Structures are given as C-alpha cells and as structure tokens.
C-alpha cells in the first residue's frame, strides 16, 4: 500500500506560522491572507531572480497581490477599531 505524501508537500510548499494575535474571526482570516500574500511574493521573487519572470511582470503581479491584501484588510475592518 502506497501512502500519500500530499500533506508533507503542502506543509513544505505552503508553510503556515502559528498565530499569536487577537483571536477574532476577522484577524484570523486576515492573518491567513497575509501569509498567502507572503508566500506568493516569495514565489514571484524566486521566479524573477532566476530569470524566469520579467522584472516588470513580477512588479505588476506583486502590486496586484498588494491591492488584494489591502482590499481584504478594508473589507475585514482590520485597523478600524478605536483602540488601535
């Protein structure tokens, strides 16, 4: 019987760090979005550094990811609390 090593691959390619912030649904969702942003930026940087992606295209992709992250922050209401 062959066991799948899919969870190991996912943990390797998409590592998740433990969350230590406020335990609120919107904070947890934003943290997941932030980690996904960081992972994608890392991949784009590697592709650009290795010459497999044009610098302008890398910039364009990262800029789009940043816009999506900002939109996520706004939609989740992160940073809108009076105590922050």
**Per-residue pLDDT, 4:** 65
Please, are residues 1 and 52 in contact by the beta-carbon 8 Å criterion?
no
CA dist list (Å): 41 to 17, 35, 38: 16, 10, 5
**Per-residue pLDDT, 84:** 47
**Per-residue pLDDT, 49:** 97
Profile the chain (84 residues) by mean pLDDT over runs of 10 residues: 65 73 91 95 97 98 98 94 56
**Per-residue pLDDT, 22:** 81
């Amino acid at each position: 019987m062959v066991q799948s090593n899919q969870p190991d691959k996912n943990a390797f390619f998409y590592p998740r760090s433990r969350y230590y912030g406020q335990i609120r649904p919107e904070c947890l969702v934003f943290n997941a979005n932030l980690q996904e942003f960081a992972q994608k930026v890392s991949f784009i940087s590697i592709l650009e550094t290795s010459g497999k992606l044009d610098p302008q295209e890398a910039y364009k992709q990262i800029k789009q990811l940043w816009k999506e992250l900002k939109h996520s922050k706004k939609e989740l209401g992160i940073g809108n609390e009076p105590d922050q």
